[in-house]
Chain A
Amino acid sequence: MPANAFNGFTDYGIGIGLRVPHYNHILSEKPTVDWFEIISENFMCDGGRPLKILDQILEQYRVVQHGVSAYFGSAETLNREHLKRLKRLVQRTRTPWLSDHLCWGSVDGRYTHDLLPMPYTMAAAKVTAGKIRQARDFLEVPIAVENVSSYAEFHVSEMTEWEFLSEVVERADCGILLDVNNIYVSSRNHGFNPLDYIDQIPAGRVAQFHIAGHSRYRKYILDTHDHPVIDPVWRLYEHALRRTGPTATLLEWDAHIPSFQEVHREALKARRFMGEVAAHA
């Protein structure tokens, strides 16, 4: 049974990100993994090894696409070339849903290749929601948007981040990829209570979770995906799961990547929380 209208995949369980250092292990050992998340842009090419590897993975595993450059929050229109390539990939992977970030990163056709923070304004919410709808209509696949870690806030913001996220997903009628590590990082960088965030978003729209590690600096926390998940983030995950019910969950580990087994072991820690929530449901 889906936990909510935007989560038809409660049985997806716990996935990990598909990363190059693990290719050989995955293809030779064929470990049991609930699903893999791929970074869409790494496979939006015309040929070669990336697509060959992807096809081999698709023969064995369920794959969900996660993007980093749709930039729904950029004030400019969607990039048609990007969308066309993305659609070709969607048709290849048959991803059940597709996620990208609630952020911007390009302006006047120039790309920063970063996930830049949104001004939390109604103007931004309207533009962003409109673009998510356009993308969903073109791609013909459900879309979930992910909250990003941020290090700056704008004077012009008219609402909190969680109010903005709620405004966008309600207007776009789309799902949420709730990254609890990003909530933790941003809460430390901006001084809000992360439980307020989790308690006030529409839980019925959470289609997927992300969990990850981060790096702590003297004056701020950086979302680096290069460490195990810390206990406070696991507690936030547990809290969020109680609101959403069992939901597809993915561990991100993108730098200083350890062995496949270590990454998978870290991801599977989520199982305990998922099991407890399911038992009390």
Chain B
Amino acid sequence: MPEAVPAPKRQSRREYLQLQRLMAGAVMRPLSPRGRLQGHWLDGQPMRKVAAGFIKPNDRLTSFERLEIYNRQYWFRLLDCFYDDYPGVRAVLGDRRFARLTEAYLTQHPSVSFSLRNLGRGLLEFLAAQPQWTAPHGALALDMARLEWAQIEAFDNAAKPPLTMDALLEIDPARTRLQLQPHVTLLELAYPVDEFLIQIKRTERLRDEASNAMEAHPSRWRRRLQRRWKPAEVFLAVHRHNDTVFYKRLEPGAFRVLSAFRTKASIADACQQLGAEDGGAPDAGGKVKSWFESWASLGWLCRSGRRG
């Protein structure tokens, strides 16, 4: 009589979770410098042994190679996404440094959202805390990242019912609290990165279309662009109008008033933010009125919620 073969041990729910933790850990681990699954696991064990412990080989691929397919796909997908979302930061750093930055960021800040749209949500904090990834272009890279994140927010954030100029004229400026549309981001920048980004996109388009000479020397065109990039203080609003993302440069006084609306201020309180330079000028009233007309026409202002 043949010996009874014991039934294989059934997986428990706890083991099911542990398997997912193990596999996700391997999939999300940075690739080796040669773009492969790393040779050793976190505890120093050979990765081949770890992979063989939970993944079956087949007649063509080892367990290691099968796991590697997922590891590579993970990084290719996420790097692609960052490559598309941050062309400006990429141009500041160059492709190789940008890839290293992306890998470092995503290793420390793996995605916690179901949407790839939110992949860069923690990037600004990361760049500020770890300037070694962008030095010596830290301030420029950070400004560029702020602009590029603002574009993402402008693209698909909510739009509340906007206040028209007529509606603004009817409200009590001392009591009614206003706020900016969720798709509007205000940026105080040390570099005119709005101009730089337009240059970068134009240059990249040209590279894509025709120029073999530029394609052959990507670092050369990048250095050429960088030489033109000089610091200059810029106040910028990034917003959406007619479903297209735009930048609008602001006067410092306008920036301060709008910033007050970011914290749900009344019109009167917001206008208190004007310094002597703006508020004391002979034509101050007319200037402020023209700002509000412009903002109302762009639909930037809306009523604050009840908690405002």
Contact = CB atoms under 8 A, between A and B. Distances in A.
A binds B: yes
A48 B12 CA distance: 45
A274 B130 CA distance: 58
Given A48-B243, A112-B28, A116-B70, A153 B56 contact: yes
Contacts of B73: 114
A104 B20 contact: yes
Interface in A77-128: 79, 81-82, 104, 106-114, 116, 119, 121-124, 126-127
Interface in A179-218: 189-191
A82, A113, A190 pick with most chain B CB within 10 angstroms: A113
Interface string A49-88: 1111000000000000000010000111001011000000
A113 B66 CA distance: 18
A108 B63 CA distance: 24
B67 A152 contact: yes
Contact of B16 (A127, A155, A189): A127
Interface of A: 41, 44-52, 69, 74-76, 79, 81-82, 104, 106-114, 116, 119, 121-124, 126-127, 151-156, 158, 189-191, 219-220, 222
A124 B66 CA distance: 21
Given A151-B66, A151-B70, A116 B114 contact: no
Contacts of A81: 114
Interface stretch (B97-105, B151-159, B272-280, B286-294): B151-159
Contact of A156 (B15, B59, B77): B15
Nearest to B53: A155
Given A41-B114, A44-B115, A110-B112, A123 B13 contact: yes
B114 A158 contact: no
A220 B54 contact: no
A107 B13 CA distance: 14
A81 B61 CA distance: 39
B114 A111 contact: yes
B58 interface: yes
Nearest to B119: A113
A46 B182 contact: yes
Given A75-B13, A107-B17, A108-B21, 6 more contacts: A48-B243, A111-B110, A112-B111, A113-B116, A123-B12, A155-B56
